[in-house]
Amino acid sequence: MSLKVKSKIEGIKAMDKADQRKWFKELLINNSLFIFIIIAVIFIQIQRPEFLGKESIVNIISLSAAAMPLALGIAGAIILTGTDLSAGRIVGLTACVAASLLQMGDYANKMFPNLPEIPVLVVFLAVVLMGAFIGGLNGTFISKLNLHPFIVTLATQLMLYGLILMYLMNGNNNGQAISGLDEKYTSLIKGSLFSIGSTPVPNFVLFVIVLTVVMWVVWNKTEFGKNMFAVGANSEAANVSGVNVSRTITKVFLLAGALYAVSGFIEAARIGSNSANTGFNYEMDGIAACVIGGVSFVGGIGKISGVIMGVVLLKLIFVGLSFLSVSVNMIYIIKGLIILVACAIDMRKYLVRK
């Protein structure tokens, strides 16, 4: 047992009965959402024993991996006491652009029939640059004009939706969903190098694992990461300490935009048919996952492990509810309640600390 855990247990033993009861109550309330989700998972498993089968686990892992880059981007914005409502639409736009540039050469409804074959990597870099550019614009408006992220990203979201609708009218497409993707692209994302049991795990899960490790290094081991937490905790104090607050905010949103583009690139191939609805409301799931994972709206608080936990638990409960045949309408209500409870827990932690 580690020294930290040992000393914590000794500290609890040294408390009197009333303090121990108070400590236990705090522990229960602060982790009430996790407890709820774990009990729900056990309940679903009893009702539907196939829920935690290999196929279902691979499905949950795949869904979580697809949502992870977006959640990591939004987490950065929340750490700065902001938010990003444009995330889903950036995913949608980058997914549509990636799909339109990587359609099969002989596909009848190809958006750009005369387009030569473009290497997948070039399209990937192009959409990541596009996402970073949009994110950078968000960041510039927020940091230079001192506007609230909520308003800036709301405006960006609307503009991007308009752009997606216009983009879908291009060439031969006439507003239809973009499908018929190049096999090189779909096999890169959906192909599989290894399996769990006999169920293949798609390649994009591996890409997302690598990306998450890179983001952990960025958050915890780089000057930029430390500046991000410093600005989120107290921007005035960070400024006094010599941190370039404006540049840090711009960089966080730029990085977030690039991460949404990665999500878009994965989503385009994963779902195969991309319309104006691709990415719709994804930001809500991302924000919910971050809040559940302990990324605080107070600012300056959040861990990569928390974001992973939040994303996986959220997918686990919703896949589980689908297993129980709970209607989609009801799932929306439950999702809203979970976000509300997560915010109340976040607020409670802050008030108790104060």
- β-bridge mates for residue 202, sequence order: 192
Is 236 near other proteins (CB under 8 A)?
Answer: yes
Q: Which of 81, 94, 100, 227 binds other proteins (CB under 8 A)?
A: 81
For residue 164, CA distances in Å to 95, 100, 136, 277, 341 come to: 10, 12, 19, 9, 34
Closer residue to other proteins in complex, CB, 214/352: 352
- CA 129 to chain centroid: 19
* Piece in contact with other proteins (CB under 8 A), picked from 10-18, 134-142, 191-199, 334-342: 334-342
Burial 66-104 (b: 16+ CB within 10 A, else e): bbbbbbbbbbbbbbbbbbbbbbbbbbbbbbbbbbbbbbb
Is 27 near other proteins (CB under 8 A)?
Answer: no
Min CB(225)–other proteins separation in Å: 21
Is 277 near other proteins (CB under 8 A)?
Answer: no
Interacting positions 33-72 with other proteins (CB under 8 A): 33, 36, 40, 43, 47
Count the neighbouring beta carbons within 10 Å of the beta carbon of residue 164.
Answer: 23
Closer residue to other proteins in complex, CB, 305/327: 327
Closer residue to other proteins in complex, CB, 26/183: 26
Q: Give the chain's end-to-end CA distance (angstroms, integer).
A: 32
Please answer whether residues 153 and 139 qualify as being in contact, where contact means their C-beta atoms are separated by less than 8 angstroms. Answer: no
Q: Which residues contact 309 (CB under 8 A, 6 or more apart)?
A: 34, 292, 293, 294
Q: Which of 147, 271, 284, 334 binds other proteins (CB under 8 A)?
A: 334
Min CB(110)–other proteins separation in Å: 43
Q: Which of 257, 299, 302, 306 binds other proteins (CB under 8 A)?
A: 299
Tally the residues of the chain: 354
Closer residue to other proteins in complex, CB, 31/277: 31
Q: Which of 86, 94, 235, 250 binds other proteins (CB under 8 A)?
A: 235
For residue 70, CA distances in Å to 67, 153, 257 come to: 6, 15, 9
Is 298 near other proteins (CB under 8 A)?
Answer: yes
Question: Packing angle between helix 245-271 and helix 223-233, nearest 10 degrees?
Answer: 110
Tell me the site size for other proteins, rule CB under 8 A: 35
Closer residue to other proteins in complex, CB, 6/348: 348
Please answer whether residues 81 and 272 qualify as being in contact, where contact means their C-beta atoms are separated by less than 8 angstroms. Answer: no
Is 330 near other proteins (CB under 8 A)?
Answer: yes
Q: Which of 59, 109, 170, 234 binds other proteins (CB under 8 A)?
A: 234
Closer residue to other proteins in complex, CB, 30/59: 30
Is 31 near other proteins (CB under 8 A)?
Answer: no
